[in-house]
Amino acid sequence: MPTVAAVSEWLDECTHVFEGRVDELNELDGILGDGDHGTNMYRGFAAARRLDLSECPNANDAMRQVGMSLVGTVGGASGPLFGTLLLRVGATWPDHLTLAGVAASLRQGTNGVMARGKAVRGDKTMVDVLLPALDSLEADARRGADLESAILDAVDAADEARDATAAMVAHRGRSALKSESSVGVVDPGAVSTALILRTGATRIREELRARTAA
C-alpha cells in the first residue's frame, strides 16, 4: 500500500526540482505570459512541503492535502489546475499499486483538469502532456505490461508531448492572447506537468522495488 511517507518524499523531490527550474520556467512564461510560472510553482510546492502530513490516515489523504495547498498557494490559473489534478488523483489512488489502478486514478485527475480549465488536446496546455501519458498507461494496461515498465513508457510519452507543445498554437490562458506568437515556445505548464509525472514515477518505482525486496 502506498504510504504517507512516500507522498512526503515525492513532495520533497518535486520541491527540489522546481527550485532548480524557476528561472527556466519563468523565462518560458515570460515570452507570452506573466513570467512567474516557475516562481509560483516553487512557492506552491514549498508551501505544501511545510504541511504536517504525519497525521494523515493514508496516502490518499496526504495527496488531497497537497492538492488543497496548491490551490491556495500557486498563483494564477495554475493553482486550481494542478491542485485539482492532485485532489482527483488523491481521491482515487489505489490502495495497492497496480497498472490499472494508477491509470484509472490519472484518468480521474486528467478529467478534473479538463473540466476545470475547459482545455482539450491541442490547446497547448498541461492537458497535452497528461493525455499522452494516460494513453500510454492505458495501452500498456491493455497489453498486460507490468507497472514499472508502463510508468517509464508514460513519462517518456509525457516528455515527448511536452516538447511537442512548441509547435502548437495556444488557445487557453494568457498565451492565447498572443496565439500566433506562441508557436515555437514550449508551454511552461506542460514542462511542470512532465516534471511532476516523472518525479511521481520515480517514487512509484522505489515503492515497487521496496515491496519486492521485503
Reported as a single tens digit per residue, the pLDDT across 12-61 is 999 999 999 999 999 999 987 889 999 999 999 999 999 999 999 999 99
Query: Residue 163 has what pLDDT?
Result: 98
pLDDT score recorded for residue 121: 96
Determine the average pLDDT of the residues in 129-152: 97
Percentage, residues of the chain above pLDDT 70: 95
pLDDT exceeds cutoff 70 at 176: no
**Cα distances (Å, whole numbers) of residue 212 to 5, 101, 176:** 18, 18, 47
Q: Which three cell numbers stand for residue 30?
A: 515570460
Query: What's at 211, amino acid-wise?
Result: R
Q: What is the pLDDT of residue 208?
A: 86
More confident residue, 31 or 164: 164
Summarised one tens digit per residue, pLDDT across range 57-113 is 999 999 999 999 999 999 888 999 999 999 999 999 998 899 999 999 999 999 999
User: What does the domain layout of the chain look like in residue ranges?
Assistant: 4-213
pLDDT band at residue 187, thresholds of 50, 70 and 90? Answer: very high
Q: How is domain 4-213 classified at the CATH fold level?
A: 1.25.40
Q: pTM for the full model?
A: 0.94
| DSSP letter (8 states) at residue 175 | G
What is the average pLDDT value for the chain, to the nearest integer? 93
What's the Cα-to-Cα distance from 161 to each of 38, 93, 121, 127, 150, rounded to whole Å? 19, 24, 11, 10, 16
